[in-house]
Chains A and B, each alone.
Chain A
Amino acid sequence: MAEGALRGRPAVADEFRAAATAELADAAPLPGNAFKVPMARNLLVAVLTSLARATEGTRP
C-alpha cells in the first residue's frame, strides 16, 4: 500500500508520511500498544528521509 502511494511521487518527508499513514490505516492496536502506530510512522518517515538525503544526486 505504501509503495503504491509513493510510486511516481517525490521522495520527500510529506510524501513518506502520507504513505506510512496509508500503510498503517488498518492497524488496530490495543490500549497497551497504541503508541506503536505513531512510532512506526515516525520511524518510517525518519529512515526514508535520511536514505533519500543520503542518495541525493545519485541515479535511482
Chain B
Amino acid sequence: MTEPLRPRAMGADLERLEAHAKVTGTAPYAWEHPVSEPTYLHPVQATVARGRVTDVDARAATALDGVLTVLTPFNAPGLARGRDAELEVLQSDEVAFRGQLVAAVVAETPETARQAADLVRVDYETRPHDVTFSADREDLYAPEVVNPDHPTDTHEGDPDAAFAVAERAVEATYTTARYHNNPLEPHTTVAVWDDDRLTLYDSTQGVHTVRAAVAGMFELDPSRVRVIAPHVGGGFGSKGTPHAHLVLAALAATRTRGRPVKFAVTRQQMFAFVGYRTPTIQRMRLGAGADGRLVSISDDVVETTARFKEFAEQTGVPTRTMYAAGHRRTTHRLAALDVGVPSWMRAPGECPGMFAPEVAMDELAEACGLDPVALRLRNEPERDPDSGLPFSSRNLVACLTEGARRFGWDRRPPLPRATLRDGWWVGTGVACSLYPVLQRPVSSASVRFRDDRCYEVGIGATDIGTGSRTALTQIAADALEVAVTDVEVRLGDSALPTATVAGGSSGTTNWGSAIVAAARRFRAECGRDPRPGDEATSTMPANPETSRLSMHAFGAQFAEVWVDAATGEPRVPRLLGVFAVGRVVNPRTARSQLMGGMTMGLSMALHEQSVLDERFGHVVNHDLAEYHISTCADAASVEAYWIDEHDPTVNPMGTKGIGEIGIVGTAAAVANAAHHATGIRVRDLPVTADALLTDP
C-alpha cells in the first residue's frame, strides 16, 4: 500500500476553479473553440429501422448555395473495419436501426447544412424490423460477459430449492424504462485536418479514449490525433465511449481542404445515436426465515442490446455484493433488437440493478412484519458474498442509522396507507446504494516547476462538470505539500499524459493516484527547492490491496412521497441520503454530485421514460418537451450527507468515488415510499399517477 496523503487542502470547501469562467460564459465548450473558416455538418438519418440504402439523390442539396459536399455510403472515404461497428459510419449501405447516420451535408452555415440535409433523398430497400422487448422472447441469449468484464451468471447452492421451503418469500418482476442521458451540452465535435494530423475539439469524457478510437478508425498513429476538451457540459456516460457523430465529423473534414467541420448533435438526434440505458426486466426471488434472514436470492435479468453491436448492462451485479444468503443466483439474458446500441448511463448496472432488489427487500420486510431498516441491518454480510473477500470498509449500517435519525424514521407508522393529510396519502421509504471503487493503474501525470514558481500538473483527465479540476488541484497541493494557489492543473487535452475516461466514478481515484505518484517522484528527484523547468512524470502504481479486499462505497436513501388521494399524482417533497464514500476531497462539489445523482434518481422514479414506437423503431418523445426530467419544482428538498469514513486501502487519498452512487437506490426508495403512502406496490418505473389511482 502506498502511504496515505496527509489532508491539508483536501477537505476544503473550495469553489470550482472555473466557476467564474463558466457563469460568465467564457469557458469554451467544444463548439466555442475559435477556428478559422469553419464549415458546418448536418446529418441525414435513416427513416427505416432495418434495410439497405439503395440510392442517395443529393442533387437538390448540392444545388443550394453554400453547400460544400454531401457524404453518402457510396462516396464516403474508407475507414478501418471490424473494430467497432458503431463507428463504421457510411461504410456500407446497411441500415441497422432507425435514426442511423446514412448521409451528411457540409455547408458554409449551420442553417444551410440543415436545409440541404432535408433535401437529400434517400431510397431504401426496407426489411422487416424487430424492436419488441419482452422477457418471453425465444431468442434471448447469454452474453459472454457483462459490462465491462463481469461473469454473465453466478450460482451458489440451490436457490430454487431453498426458495421453495423458505418461511418467508417474495417473488416478483420489476422493470425499469429506457432512459436517455441528456447532458445539457449536446455531443459536439469540431474536426480539423492539417495534412495527416487531426485535431478534435470534442465534448467527451475521455480525450485519450477518443484519440484511440479515432486513430483506429482512420488507421493513424495516435500521435497524429489530438483531442481537446477543457470543459464539458455533462456526459452521464453518453460521452464516455465515442459515438458515430465523432467519426462522421472527422470523415467529413477530409473533404474540406483543411477547413474545420463543426457538428453539434441536436437534442432530437441525441435520442438516436449517442447511447442510452437499456430497459431492464428483473425477476427477483427472495427467500428468508421468519426472522428476515435471507436464505435464497435469485435475480434473473433480461435486457436489450442492438443486433449490430453488443452492450450487456451488468444489472444483476450489485445483487451479488449487497446481501448474503446460502443459496444465490444471478443471470443476464439479452434480446438483440434492431435498435441503436445501448451504452453507459450514470451507474450502469448498479442504477437499474438496485431497483428490483431494494423494492423486493421492502416487500420482504412487509412479509416478515419487520421495519425495512431493521431487515437490512439484520442482513449485513461480514464479507463480500460475491468474491468472499473482506470489505475494505462497509459502513452501510452507519448510513442507515444516521439516515434514519436525520430523517425522523422512528416516527413512521409501521403499516402502509396510514396517513392522509389534506387530501394526500403520505408515506416514507428507504433503499440502499452501493457503487464499486474502480481503478486501473494506467493513468499518468506530470509535474513541472515553472518560472513563475507555480507547479504545473498535467494529466489528460476531463472535468465534465463534476469539479474534478478543482479536486485534483487540492490533491496535487497536498501531494506537493504546497498551497492550492501554487498549483495549476492542466487537463482535457490528449497531448497531456494518458488518463482514463471520466467514468465509473473513478476519476479522482485514478487521476489522483497518478498525480500523487508524479508529485512524490518530483520531490524525490527534484527536492523541496526545485529549479524552474524541473519536471517529473509517473504512472499510477497498481494497488495490491484490490486483490485482497472488496472495495465499495455504500449509502442509504430515504424518501417521503405524497400521493394525491383523488388523482394518484405522486410527489417527492423530501429526499435524504447518507453515504459512506471514503474521504471527501471537496465538500461543495461532492455534495453537488450526490444531490445531482439523487435528483436524477428522482427523475428516474417519477418522470423519465423513452417511449419506443414499435411500428417504426424510434423514440417518439425525443425532446425535452416530452421526455420529462425532474425540475427544481419536483426536487423540493434533496439533502445529501456523508459519514466520516477512513479507508487507507483504496488509494493514497482515501477516496471512493461519488459521481454515481447518488442515483443508485433512489427510485426504489421512492417506490417503497409510494407503497407506504398508499398500500399500492408499483414494480414498474416510472411510478405514475395511473398506477397509484384508486377508484372507490
Interfacial residues, chain A to chain B (CB-CB below 8 A): 35, 38-39, 41-43, 45-46, 50
Q: List 5 A-B contacts (CB under 8 A).
A: A39-B566, A42-B565, A42-B566, A46-B423, A46-B565
CB pair A42 B423 closer than 8 Å: no
Complex contacts, B694 vs chain A, CB 8 Å: 42
Interface flag for B219 (CB, 8 Å): no
Determine how close the nearest CB of chain A comes to the CB of B550; give it in whole angstroms. Answer: 45
Return chain B residues, CB-CB under 8 Å to A42.
Answer: 565-567, 693-696
Distance of A50 Cα from B201 Cα, bound (Å): 59
Are B689 and A45 in contact, with the CB atoms below 8 A? no
B423 touches A35 (CB 8 A): no
B690 within 8 A of A: yes
User: Closest CB-CB distance, A18 to chain B, in whole Å?
Assistant: 13
Q: How far is the CA of A42 from the CA of B695 in the complex (A)?
A: 7
A43 to B566, CA, bound (A): 5
Contacts A42-B565, A42-B567, A46-B566 supplied; 13 other A-B pairs, CB < 8 Å: A35-B568, A35-B689, A35-B690, A35-B693, A39-B568, A39-B690, A39-B693, A41-B695, A42-B566, A43-B567, A46-B423, A46-B565, A50-B423
> How close is B453's CB to chain A, nearest CB, in angstroms?
68
A39 to B566, CA, bound (A): 7
The reply to whether B695 and A38 form a contact with Cβ atoms under 8 Å apart is yes
Provide the residues of chain B in CB contact with A50, threshold 8 Å: 423
Residues of chain A contacted by B689 (CB below 8 angstroms): 35, 39
Nearest CB in chain B to that of A42: its residue: B566
- A contact residues around B696 at 8 Å (CB): 42
With CB as the reference atom, state the residue of chain B lying closest to A35. Answer: B690
Q: Chain B interface residue count: which class?
A: 10 to 19
Q: List B residues 675-696 near A (Cβ within 8 Å).
A: 689-690, 693-696
Bound state CA distance, A41 and B568, in angstroms?
12
Closest A residue to B695 using CB positions = A38
> How far apart are A38's CB and chain B's nearest CB, in angstroms?
4
Bound: A46/B694 CA distance, A: 13
CB of A33, distance to nearest CB on chain B (Å): 8
User: Which chain B residue shows the least CB distance to A47?
Assistant: B566
| B423 contact set on A, CB distance < 8 A | 46, 50
Give B423's nearest chain A residue, CB to CB. A46
Contact among B566, B690, B693 for A45, CB-based, below 8 A: B566
Interface residues of A, dominant DSSP: helix
A41 to B693, CA, bound (A): 11
List the interface of chain B (C-beta within 8 A of A): 423, 565-568, 689-690, 693-696
Closest chain B residue to A41, Cβ basis: B695
State in angstroms the CA–CA spacing of A45 and B565 once bound together. Answer: 11
Q: When chains A and B are docked, how far (Å) is the Cα of A43 from the Cα of B423?
A: 11
In the bound complex, residues from chain B placing their C-beta under 8 Å from that of A38 are 693, 695
Min CB distance, A45 to chain B, in Å? 7
CA distance A38 to B269 in the complex (A): 37
Q: What is the CB-to-nearest-CB distance from A29 to chain B, in angstroms, rounded to a whole number?
A: 11
Residue of A nearest to B565 (CB): A46
Which residues of A have CB within 8 Å of B695?
Answer: 38, 41-42
Give the chain A neighbours of B693 by CB distance below 8 A: 35, 38-39, 42
Minimum CB–CB distance from A17 to chain B (whole Å) comes to: 8
Q: Which residues of chain B have C-beta atoms less than 8 A from A35's C-beta?
A: 568, 689-690, 693
Bound Cα distance from A39 to B569, whole angstroms: 10
The CA-CA distance from A45 to B564 in the complex, in Å, is 13
B596 → chain A, closest Cβ, in Å?
32
Residues of A within 8 A of B567 (CB): 39, 42-43, 46
Given the complex, which residues of B lie within 8 Å of A39, measured CB to CB?
566-568, 689-690, 693
Chain B residue at minimal CB-CB distance from A50: B423
A25 to B682, CA, bound (A): 28
A34 — nearest CB in chain B belongs to which residue?
B690
The CB with the most chain A CB atoms within 10 A, among B423, B566, B689, B693, is that of: B566
**How distant is the Cα of A52 from the Cα of B690 in the complex, in angstroms?**
27
Min CB distance, A4 to chain B, in Å? 23
From residue A24, how far is it (CB to closest CB) to chain B in Å?
Answer: 12
Chain A neighbourhood of B566, CB < 8 A: 39, 42-43, 45-46
Complex: chain B residue closest to A46, CB-CB: B566
* 6 nearest A-B pairs in the assembled complex, by CB-CB distance: A35-B690, A46-B566, A38-B695, A42-B566, A43-B566, A39-B567
Chain A residue contacts of B568, Cβ below 8 A: 35, 39
Residues of B within 8 A of A41 (CB): 695
Docked Cα-Cα span, A46 to B693, in Å, equals: 13
> A45 vs B696: C-alpha distance in the bound complex, in angstroms?
11
Bound Cα distance A50, B695 (Å): 18
Find the A residue at minimum CB distance from B690.
A35
- With both chains docked as a complex, state the minimum distance between the C-beta of B586 and any C-beta of chain A, in angstroms: 46
What is the CA–CA distance of A38 and B423 in the complex, to the nearest angstrom?
16
Q: Taking the nearest CB of chain B, how far is it from the CB of A8, in angstroms?
A: 25
State A35–B694 Cα separation when bound (angstroms): 10
A48 to B360, CA, bound (A): 39
| Nearest CB of B to A12, in Å | 15
A58 to B640, CA, bound (A): 49
Contacts of B690 in A (CB 8 A): 35, 39
The CA of A50 and the CA of B689, in the complex, are separated in Å by: 21
Q: How far is the CA of A41 from the CA of B694 in the complex (A)?
A: 11
Query: In the assembly, what is the distance between CA of A35 and CA of B566, in Å?
Result: 12
Residue of B nearest to A38 (CB): B695
How far in angstroms is the closest Cβ of chain A from B557?
28
Q: How far is the CB of B243 from chain A (nearest CB, A)?
A: 32
* Bound-state Cα–Cα, A41 to B696, Å: 10
A39 to B694, CA, bound (A): 8
Closest to A45 in B: B566
**Chain B residues positioned under 8 Å from A45 (CB to CB):** 566
User: Which residues of A sit under 8 angstroms from B565, Cβ to Cβ?
Assistant: 42, 46
Cα separation A43 to B690 with both chains bound (whole Å):
13
Closest B residue to A37 by beta carbon equals B695
Query: Cα distance A43–B693 when bound, in Å?
Result: 11
> Smallest Cβ distance from A11 to chain B, in angstroms?
17
Centre residue among B565, B567, B693, B694 by max chain A CB count within 10 A: B567
B202 to chain A, nearest CB (A): 41
A32 CB, min distance to chain B CBs, angstroms: 9
Q: How far is the CB of B695 from chain A (nearest CB, A)?
A: 4
Residue on B nearest A33 in the bound complex, by CB:
B690
Q: Nearest-CB distance from B694 to chain A (Å)?
A: 8
Q: How far is the CA of A38 from the CA of B567 in the complex (A)?
A: 8
Chain A nearest CB from B421 CB (Å) reads 14
Q: How far is it, in angstroms, between the C-alpha of A45 and the C-alpha of B423 when the chains are bound?
A: 12
> In angstroms, how far is the closest chain B Cβ from the Cβ of A50?
8
- Give the Cβ gap from A30 to chain B, nearest Cβ, in Å: 13
CA distance A35 to B695 in the complex (A): 9
Distance from B425 Cβ to chain A, minimum over Cβ atoms (Å): 13
Q: In whole angstroms, how far apart are the Cα atoms of A42 and B690 in the complex?
A: 12
**In the bound complex, how far is the Cα of B566 from the Cα of A45, in angstroms?**
8
Closest chain-A Cβ to B341's Cβ sits at a distance in Å of 28
Measured between alpha carbons, how far is A2 from B567 in the docked complex, in Å?
Answer: 20
